[in-house]
Structure formats: C-alpha cells, structure tokens
Amino acid sequence: MSDAATPQQAQSTEAELIAIRREKLGKLRDLGVDPFGSSYEVSDTPANLRTNFEEGRRVKIAGRITALRDMGKSVFFSVGDIHGSIQGYLGTKGLDEAKLAEWKCLDRGDWIGIEGETFVTRTGEPTVKVEDFTVLSKSLRPMPDKFHGLSDRETKYRKRHLDLMGNPESASVFVTRSRMVAEIRNFFHQRDYLEVETPMLQSVAGGAAARPFETF
C-alpha cells in the first residue's frame, strides 16, 4: 500500500496548516505586532553578507525564513531571498516574555528583519547572532517541502512563485535569464532600436490559434 497522500488528504493538510498560521497571525495582532507592511532599513543583503563575510560585524538584514531548527533554548534558522541566504542564531533564554511569544508565531516562509553581530559556528558556518528581530510579513500558506521543493513539472509552470521559493536552482536560472534579457535590451536601446511585440513572437500561442473547436 502506498503512503503517498491523496489530493484530498493534501488539501486537508494544507487547510489545517493555513488555519494554524491564521491563528498565529491573530496572536501577533494581540501582541500589538503589525504582521504586514513594516518598513525596515538594512545594512546589507543576506547573499552579499555571506559572500563578503567578516566576523564581529554589526549588521541588519531582511529576508524570508527558509529553514527553521528549534532546539529549545537555541534556534538556528536560514534567512534570505532569491539571491542567497545566511544562517541566523537566536538564544531564546535572553528574550522577554512578549518577544518570545512573538517569535513562537513565526514559521518558514515568513519575512523578518534581524539585527546582530556576525560570528562563525564550530562547524564553520557564517552566522548572525540575533539581538533583535522585526516581523515584516506573515506568510499564511506553507512553503514547498524544504528538501525536495516542487517536483511536479506542471505545478512548477503554473505556480512559478512556489518553484522559485523552494528550488534555489530554479531561482538561479531565472536570475541569470533576467540579467541576460536586461543586457540585451540595454544593448539595443543604446543603439536607438525600438522593441515591438507581435503575436508571432509570443511564447504562448494566441489569436486564431486559440479558437475553440469541437471533436466528434
């Protein structure tokens, strides 16, 4: 017998997870925390901080929580964006009751801002020791599986935002493609070319090709 979840079971599980996240959303509001729309000034990006890492720096970065490992009094998590991520460390023992309750409302997929000092763990991982954090946006839908991402090709094409969140390889391809297209456009714009879109050059068939037809 297969252990794979049926579509109905998958939908039920997702609905339950969404309900839990909505409950946490309500708790954040009860704590006086705005779960959406907070502005946050940063000193660096997660990817740039990791590339040019220096131990002992005070930094402020923002990004999406892509991994979360709660070990009781210590929490390790990854925070980043489409360009890359870095590890954060939070010691919950030093948090006051309100701030600890705020942290317990966070999940994978949420956007946060963190402030702290950089250090290297015993395993050699560049890390930010978090002294303060700010909730920037609460995600109400669960992210794709953190190990496998999206494996179904049809879902990848229809829900590209989930593909980019769950698959760093896909994100890297789209970043490279975007930069290439921008460079090609700049090359021609600087030479006074005009970009004109026509149905013949669209990636998706349209016009007469989209007429309905009957089968017998």
pLDDT in tens, 155-180: 777 778 777 777 778 888 888 999 99
Number of structural domains (the chain) is: 2
Integer Cα distance of 131 and 165 in angstroms: 26
Same domain membership, residue 129 and residue 164: no
Domain span at residue 123 reads 7-137
Same domain membership, residue 127 and residue 170: no
Same domain membership, residue 164 and residue 116: no
Integer Cα distance of 8 and 99 in angstroms: 37
pTM of the model: 0.75
Beta bridge partners of 119: 127
**What's the chain's average pLDDT?**
85
Same domain membership, residue 89 and residue 15: yes
pLDDT in tens, 68-123: 999 888 999 999 998 899 999 999 888 889 999 999 999 999 999 999 999 999 99
Domain stops at, among 108, 137, 166: 137
Q: Is residue 48 part of a domain?
A: yes
Same domain membership, residue 178 and residue 114: no
